[in-house]
Amino acid sequence: MASMASFSCSITHLKNRHDTHRLVNIQKPQYSSQTTSKQVHRVTVKAVETAELPVARRSANYAPSIYSFEYIQSLSTEYLGEDYKARANSLKDKVKMMLHEVESPLSALELVDNLQRLGISYHFDDEIRSLLEVVYDTYYKTQDKWNAMDLNLKALGFRLMRQHGFHVPQEIFDNFKDITENLKPESREDVLVILNLYEASYHLFDNESILDDALEFTTKYLKENLEKMDESISTLASHALELPLHWRLPRVEAQWFIDVYEKRSDNNPTLLELAKLDYNMLQAVHIEDLKHQSMWWENTKWVSKLSFIRDSLVPSFLWGLGFGYLPHYSTGRRALAKIVTLTTAIDDVYDIYATLDELEKFTDAIDRWDIHALEGLPDYMKICFLGYYNTINEIAYNTLADTNILNLTYLRKALADLCHAYLVEARWYYSGYKPTFQEYMKTASISVAGPLILAHLKFETSVHATSEVLERMTEFEAIDRYSSIVLRLTDDLGTSTDELARGDILKSIQCYMRDTGSNEEEARNHMKELILDAWKKINKERARADTQFSREYVEYASNMARTGQFMYREGDGHARPEINKSHLSTLLFNPIQLTK
């Protein structure tokens, strides 16, 4: 959380002068480790009383959005037409025939893998499930079948089976080191075995030492032999080493893999045409969603009224797209994009602009969820409170009307928890307190807004089973916690440098360095280890999903972790959307050229 102006909340003669507040760039005063909270209080009071100026407020100097309201509203697409739908349906019928006519387990698994990576497997959920059940029962269910399978079939099958909830133990790879001894990096087929084993190992659970060893071995092998590989396979290997397939956003992976697949000599023209066409048709749905969100955001007037906040509409919409990109998820995508956009602005209130006294009052107003609480807030906070109040109440109303679930209590609690976490960090800032790593993570895994997002996701699935949603609240606490940890740590890895430069509190990396005496590189590597550990736990929770609703929800929760890894892999892709501009352009604005 970024720092705020260090001025005491006890100066009553400044409390009601919000109409004259000025945005100024100031630096947080430096305090020694012995400085007490009371000493900070005296120093800041003196600063204000001497200056006799309105409350000085920080600015993060956020750049205007690179996507204007006018530009977004001007977007159009032809891919909602009936001719495209008819062609897509014809291609889907051909693919269904392929799924029914596969002749070997390896060809079946490779077809499923290609459909997933091309982003079109959702059209064939029932067919894929049936096909995997047959392959599982025939080849993976009992140990006596394993010895007759080659390592490539084991690895690809293991990954797909675990991904789809089938139980396959790690012991299937008991002798993987013996099998890999004679593999040659110059052979495309041999490297593909290593690559499939590498990708499979990322589906490991806690205490699966065989898969730990497989991950370590394959990572080292791929890194050491990249230059010896054929170009077509080295492209796949480099891509995997940057981020494993299991941690990648499906929509972004489809964008990349369509191009790679088209260059393959063995590509299937039907799959390729359907992938391109479907990509463009989905993009057309996303454009309509974005235009709807743009109109909503413009009507809130937050950008013009709250000049210190980030105009994060497009990156916030990308978060919604990351959680669920399929066409039936349009309502949930729009709702989540609203929540992320508003939360980004509220984060700026707590991080950058507000005084501690104002934050105490605002947090109390969120707790009370009462419009009468507006009376004690400054004008800019009235806008913030009412914006949240109206949006969350509207979302809760729509959920009630559609599903008969009254979820307002859950949404309010998640927002209140978030604001309380923000407030804890604000108090750390004002007192100059430096938390331990454990203290930081306890609060920061909430302040990253993961629990708030997931509270909304639970009610935005396509499966509206009232009793099941409510009955599984406790069951989902584990995956909520672990996906929020991944989000927090990836956020810190990508943003802490920028945020510390403007005077923020210490992040996970710096807290760990203080606790252990580690240098920054060691601390960053430790954060990456913790991310892997959290994913092991996410994988275990995924394996426990046993209904359509639970499988869909844990996929969304996993996608939150994946979206974080995408947004922050090269820096603060949320606050600085230019970092992901090429992805945004392809995902939202530029259709893929169809083969003529």
Each domain of the chain, given as residue ranges in start order, spans 102-267, 275-589
What pLDDT is recorded for position 49? Answer: 34
Residue 197 pLDDT: 97
Q: Average pLDDT across each block of 10 residues of the chain; the chain has 596 residues. List them in order.
A: 35 34 33 32 31 60 84 92 95 97 94 98 96 93 82 95 95 87 86 96 97 96 93 93 96 95 95 97 96 96 92 92 91 93 95 94 96 92 96 94 90 98 95 95 97 92 71 92 97 81 81 96 97 98 91 94 92 75 85 83
Instruction: Give DSSP secondary structure letters for 268-316.
Output: -HHHHHHHHHHHHHHHHHHHHHHHHHHHHHHHHTHHHH-TTS---HHHH
pLDDT at 503: 63
CB 371 within 8 A of CB 383: no
**SS3 assignment, position 56:** strand
**What pLDDT, on the 0 to 100 scale, is given for residue 31?**
31
Task: Give the model's pLDDT for residue 499.
Answer: 67
Helix, strand, or coil (residue 57): strand
Smallest Cα–Cα separation from 489: which of 525, 520, 453, 531? Answer: 531
Choose the CATH number for 102-267 among 1.50.10.130, 1.20.1730.10, 1.25.50.10, 1.10.260.40.
1.50.10.130
Closest CA relative to residue 346, chosen from 445, 419, 444: 419
22: helix, strand or coil = strand
Residue type, 144: D
In this prediction, residue 146 carries a pLDDT of: 81
Nearest Cα neighbor of 579 from 487, 495, 478 is: 495
Domain 275-589 has CATH 1.10.600.10: yes
